[in-house]
A and B are shown apart, each in its own frame.
Chain A
Amino acid sequence: MSMFRKSVAIVAALMLTASLAACSPGANPGGTAESSTPNTSEGASSLSGTLNVFAAASLKSTFTELAKEFQAANPQAKISLNFDGSSTLVTQITQGAPADVFASADEANMNKLTTANMAQGTPEIFATNILTVVVPPNNPANITSFADLAKPGVKVVVCAAQVPCGAAAKTDEATAGLSIKAVSEELNVTSVLGKVTSGEADAGLVYVTDATGAGAKVKAIPLGLDKPTVNKYPIVAVSSSKKQELAKAFIALVTAAQGQKILQEAGFGTP
C-alpha cells in the first residue's frame, strides 16, 4: 500500500511540475517583460517578448541571420525560428501551433493561411527564387546546359510535381520544350541537393539559393530561359498572435533595405 501511495505522489508531483511549466509562459504572454520595461524611450528597443517565426526551409540561413540582427537591435526581444516545408508549417499553424509570423516559399501555401482567415492583413512578397541546374563538382555526365538533362543515361533528380520546386521544374521543362526522365522525384528540394552533393545523381534541379548555399559542393548551370518560373515568397503576421507589434517590426526588417541585402546575398531575387 505504501508503494502505491509513493507512486501516486510521484505521478502527482510530475503532473504538477508539468502543468506549472506549461502555465508560466502562457498565463502571462510576454507580459512580465513588457510591464517591467519602463517606456522611457520611444525607440524600437522597447520591443520585448519572444516571437515565433515559422519560415520555409529555404530561408534557414537568411532568417537565422535576420533574427540575429533583430535581436541585436532589440535586446529584449527573442526570435524563435521554426524551419520546415511550407505545407508542413501551414498545416501546423492552422492546427493551432503557436506561430506569430509565417514566411512561405510559395503563394499556394500562403493562400491556405488566408483562406483559413488566419492572416493579419495582406501577405507581402519579400523575395523571389528561380531554379537552376546543379551538378557535382566533377560533373560526371558532362552537363553544360539545361537541355543536356534530357539526354538518355543522365541520372537527373528533381522534386515531385506535388511540391513547389517540382511544379516549377515541370513548367520550366515545358517552356524549354524538354522531356526529362528523372531517376527520382524527391519529396523536397533538400533531398535533391543531397543526391547531387553526395555524387549519387549526375544533375538536379534546385533553387538558385540552394546552389549558393551549397558553395563548392555543387556547380550551378543557369537554365538560360527568358521566362523562368519565378517562385514568390510571401510573409504575414498570424492573426491569432498576441504579439502583433513585434511581428510587424520583424516583417519590416525583412522587407526593408537591411533585410533585402541579406536575402540578395544568398541568391534571392527582388520582389
Chain B
Amino acid sequence: MVLLRRPGRWEYQAVPRWIYVFAVLGTLFILVPLVGMVARVNWSQFLALVTSSASLDALLLSLKTAASSTVVCVILGVPLALVLARAQFAGQRVLRALILLPLVVPPVVGGLALLYTFGREGLIGKSLSIAGINIAFSTTAVIMAQSFVALPFLVLSLEGTLRTAGQRYEAVAATLGARPSTVMRRITLPLVLPGLVSGAVLAFARSLGEFGATLTFAGSLQGVTRTLPLEIYLQRETDPDAAVALSFVLIAVAVLVVGLTYRAPAHRPRAIVVPEGIHES
C-alpha cells in the first residue's frame, strides 16, 4: 500500500507505478501528432493564411453554428437526461441506446439520415418544402447536423452527473412541499450545474469539429455552410500550408474553450486512511 503524505493527512494512492508507463504512452500518442502538425505551420505566412476572407468566413461560421447547436443541445438534452436518469418507464434502456446512436455511427451516415428526413425529397422535408421551407444548403442545416452528432455528448455527461448526485436533496425538498418543477429549478439543476457545463462544452467542441454530417447534409458554400473543417479539407487540395494554418487555429480554439470551461467529472471522495497513532491535526 502506498501512502502519500499530504498536508494534514495520509492518503491511499490507488495507482500502481507501472500504470504510469502506459499513461505516458497514451499521452504521447495524442500529443506527438499535434506537435508534428504545429511543426509544419508556415509561421511567416501564418497571419496572411488565416486572415483570408475564406478563412475568416469559415472561422466565424464555425463559432456561430457551434454556439447555436450547443444551445439546441442544452434545450433538448437537459430534459432528455432528466428523463433517462430520474424517470422509470418501459423501454428506457432501448431509448438510451438509440439516443447514443450518433456517437457510434459514422457522421456521414448521420448526414444521410438527416438528408433523407429533412431533405427536399425527405420524409418530413417534402412537406416542409411544400410549405416553402427549404433546409438543405442553409446554415440551419449545418446547425442541425452539428446538434445531431453532439447531443449524445451532453445527454451522457449530464445523465452521469444526475445519477452520481443522487436524489436525497430532491426527496427532502419534496417532503417539505416543493412541487416537481420547483425541485428541478431549485435543487436538481444547481446541483448538477458543473456536469451540465461540462456536457455543453463537450457538445460545443464536437460541433466545432463536425465534418461528415455537415458535408453530406448541408453542402459547402463560403459563409453559408462551409465551416472550418470543410475549409481545411478543401484548402488541403491546393494549399497545404493554409490547411495546416487553419488546423492550428481550430485546435487553438478548441483547447481554449475546453481548457477554460471543462472540468473533469468530480473525483469520488478518496478513502482516507488514518493509521494508528496518527491523528489529523
Assess whether B235 is interfacial by the CB under 8 Å rule.
yes
Contact with A along B224-236 (1 / 0, CB 8 A): 0110001001111
Could you tell me if B219 and A195 are in contact, using CB atoms closer than 8 angstroms? yes
Assess whether B18 is interfacial by the CB under 8 Å rule.
yes
Could you tell me if A162 and B120 are in contact, using CB atoms closer than 8 angstroms? no
**Cβ contact of B120, chosen from A91, A184, A191, A199, cutoff 8 A:** A199
Assess whether A16 is interfacial by the CB under 8 Å rule.
no
Assess whether A266 is interfacial by the CB under 8 Å rule.
no
Interface size of A as a range: 20 to 34
Could you tell me if A187 and B120 are in contact, using CB atoms closer than 8 angstroms? no
Q: Give the size of the chain B interface in residues (CB under 8 angstroms).
A: 26
Least Cβ–Cβ distance between B118 and chain A, in angstroms: 10
Least Cβ–Cβ distance between B18 and chain A, in angstroms: 6
Contact with A along B104-131 (1 / 0, CB 8 A): 0000000000011001110000000000
Could you tell me if B137 and A155 are in contact, using CB atoms closer than 8 angstroms? yes
Assess whether B44 is interfacial by the CB under 8 Å rule.
no
Could you tell me if B121 and A160 are in contact, using CB atoms closer than 8 angstroms? no
Residues of A within 8 Å of B251, CB to CB, are none
**Cβ contact of A184, chosen from B115, B119, B225, cutoff 8 A:** B225
Least Cβ–Cβ distance between A260 and chain B, in angstroms: 29
Could you tell me if A200 and B237 are in contact, using CB atoms closer than 8 angstroms? no
Assess whether B238 is interfacial by the CB under 8 Å rule.
yes
Residues of A within 8 Å of B16, CB to CB, are 4
Assembled-state Cα–Cα distance A264/B24 (Å): 56
Could you tell me if B219 and A198 are in contact, using CB atoms closer than 8 angstroms? no
Least Cβ–Cβ distance between B245 and chain A, in angstroms: 15
Could you tell me if A162 and B137 are in contact, using CB atoms closer than 8 angstroms? no
The B124-167 residues at the A interface (CB cut-off 8 A) are 136-137
Could you tell me if B120 and A200 are in contact, using CB atoms closer than 8 angstroms? yes
Q: Which residue of chain B lies nearest to A195 when distances are taken between CB atoms in the complex?
A: B219
Residues of A within 8 Å of B239, CB to CB, are 162
Could you tell me if B120 and A87 are in contact, using CB atoms closer than 8 angstroms? no
Assembled-state Cα–Cα distance A157/B115 (Å): 15
Residues of A within 8 Å of B115, CB to CB, are 198, 200
Q: Which residue of chain A lies nearest to B135 when distances are taken between CB atoms in the complex?
A: A200
Could you tell me if B121 and A200 are in contact, using CB atoms closer than 8 angstroms? yes
Assess whether A173 is interfacial by the CB under 8 Å rule.
no
Assess whether A230 is interfacial by the CB under 8 Å rule.
no
Assembled-state Cα–Cα distance A85/B215 (Å): 16
Least Cβ–Cβ distance between A7 and chain B, in angstroms: 8
Could you tell me if B235 and A187 are in contact, using CB atoms closer than 8 angstroms? no
Assess whether A223 is interfacial by the CB under 8 Å rule.
no
Assess whether A194 is interfacial by the CB under 8 Å rule.
yes
The A83-125 residues at the B interface (CB cut-off 8 A) are 85, 87, 91
Residues of B within 8 Å of A160, CB to CB, are 220, 234, 237
**Cβ contact of B220, chosen from A184, A198, A199, A200, cutoff 8 A:** A184
Least Cβ–Cβ distance between B240 and chain A, in angstroms: 8
Assess whether B221 is interfacial by the CB under 8 Å rule.
yes
Could you tell me if B237 and A194 are in contact, using CB atoms closer than 8 angstroms? no
Could you tell me if A157 and B18 are in contact, using CB atoms closer than 8 angstroms? no
Residues of A within 8 Å of B236, CB to CB, are 87, 91
Q: Which residue of chain A lies nearest to B226 when distances are taken between CB atoms in the complex?
A: A185
Q: Which residue of chain A lies nearest to B237 when distances are taken between CB atoms in the complex?
A: A162
The chain B residues found within 8 Å of chain A, CB to CB, are: 16, 18, 115-116, 119-121, 136-137, 215-216, 219-222, 225-226, 230, 233-240
Enumerate the 4 nearest inter-chain pairs by beta-carbon distance, A residue then B residue, closest first.
A184-B219, A199-B121, A183-B137, A162-B237
A-B residue pairs in contact (CB < 8 Å), sample of 18: A4-B16, A87-B237, A160-B234, A160-B237, A162-B237, A163-B237, A183-B137, A183-B219, A184-B137, A186-B215, A187-B237, A191-B215, A191-B216, A191-B219, A199-B120, A200-B119, A200-B120, A200-B137
The chain A residues found within 8 Å of chain B, CB to CB, are: 4, 85, 87, 91, 155, 157, 160, 162-163, 182-187, 191, 194-195, 198-200
